[in-house]
A = this chain, B = another copy of it.
Amino acid sequence: MSKPSAPRPTDAELAILRVLWERGPSTVRQVHDSLTPERPTAYTTALKMLQIMTEKGLVRRDETDRTHIYHARLTQEQTQRQLVRDLVDRAFGGSASKLVMQALATRRASAEELAEIRKLIEGRDGREVRDDRD
Contact = CB atoms under 8 A, between A and B. Distances in A.
A93 to B, nearest CB: 8
B77 A102 contact: yes
A107 interface: yes
A133 to B, nearest CB: 9
A104 B90 contact: no
Interface residues on A, range: 35 or more
Interface in A6-39: 11, 14
A111 B90 contact: no
A87 B84 contact: yes
Contacts of A129: 104-107, 109-111, 114
A70 to B, nearest CB: 19
Given A80-B102, A96-B117, A106-B129, 6 more contacts: A11-B90, A81-B105, A84-B102, A87-B87, A96-B104, A106-B132
- Those 6 A-B pairs whose CB atoms lie nearest each other, nearest first: A107-B132, A97-B113, A96-B109, A80-B102, A97-B116, A84-B102
